[in-house]
Amino acid sequence: MNETILYIELIPPKGWNLFERYFLYIYNILTPAEENYLKAIYHLSGVSNALVTTNAIADQMDTKPSSVTDMVKKLADKGLINHKKYQGVALTDSGKKIALSIVRKHRLWEVFLLEKLNFAWDEVHEVAEQLEHVQSDKLIEKLDQHLGFPRFDPHGDPIPSRSGKILQVEKVLLSNCNAEDKGIFVGVNSSSAEFLQYLDKLKLVLGDRIEILFKESFDDSFQIATKDKSVTISGKAAKNIYIQKDEL
Ligand SMILES: [Zn+2]
């Protein structure tokens, strides 16, 4: 492939400097697999941009550490991650920008599927995993506008802005809460269909006000109360439920 021609043919967004235009070029030739790795590293590194180990990436991607090593080398060569031997990897600014744009596409598609096509909230993630790789900035901006510029996806996660800014929601896992804590159910740590269906069975909905009645130390389960019922949450589920605690 003639890389120079490919680069010249791209029209970078207004205001992007030459350095970013260069990465836009790279962006356009990233494979879905490469994009998925950037996204996984982004999710694993969290807000602090902490180093992520090869084993953690292998776990997240459900693949062998040796495959991760190959991909890490590729992404480092493209300037998208920094690799510190025996310590782990971190996204570069360019890598983070791309990861956030994939997360943005993913979450906007989830809103679209739920609101416009009447998918259930446990069905949207799998389809969005495919749609997030569609390469058209125009499509995504039109989608955003069509949806009325939503700020959160159906699982309560904030949608990054076009320029890559993302709201940091103060939230804690239910498993880290104590009896008498009160707050709002704002998000889930797992978008697996099984888990979301479990929440549907409990009739727990994002935005529900909850109060923790007690924590069972034997199995780490929680008894919680919403405005109209009291439910038991297993210890496993408590590790996947995010609460925004009331300010004391
Ligand atoms: Zn999702």
**Domain limits of the chain?**
9-91, 172-245
Distance (Å) of CA 46 to CA 63, 73, 154, 233:
21, 21, 20, 26
CA 106 to chain CA centroid, Å, is 8
Distance 179 CA to ligand 1 centre (A): 30
Distance 188 CA to ligand 1 centre (A): 10
Q: Which residues of 203-225 are buried (b: 16+ CB within 10 A; e: fewer)?
A: ebebebebbbeebeeeeebbebe
Q: How many whole angstroms separate alpha carbon 26 and alpha carbon 24? A: 5
Q: What would the pLDDT profile of 45-88 be if each residue is shown by its tens digit? A: 977 778 999 999 999 999 999 999 999 999 998 899 999 888 89
Distance 191 CA to ligand 1 centre (A): 6
Which residues lie near ion ligand 1 (Cβ < 5 Å)? Answer: 125, 191
CATH topology of domain 9-91: Arc Repressor Mutant, subunit A (1.10.10)
Tokens 């740590």 sit on residue? 189
Q: What would the pLDDT profile of 9-56 be if each residue is shown by its tens digit? A: 445 555 555 665 565 555 557 889 999 999 999 999 977 778 999 999
Q: Which CATH architecture has domain 172-245?
A: Roll (2.30)
Do 140 and 105 form a contact (C-beta atoms < 8 A)? yes
Q: Do domains 9-91 and 172-245 have the same CATH topology?
A: no
pTM: 0.79
Is residue 117 helix, strand or coil? coil
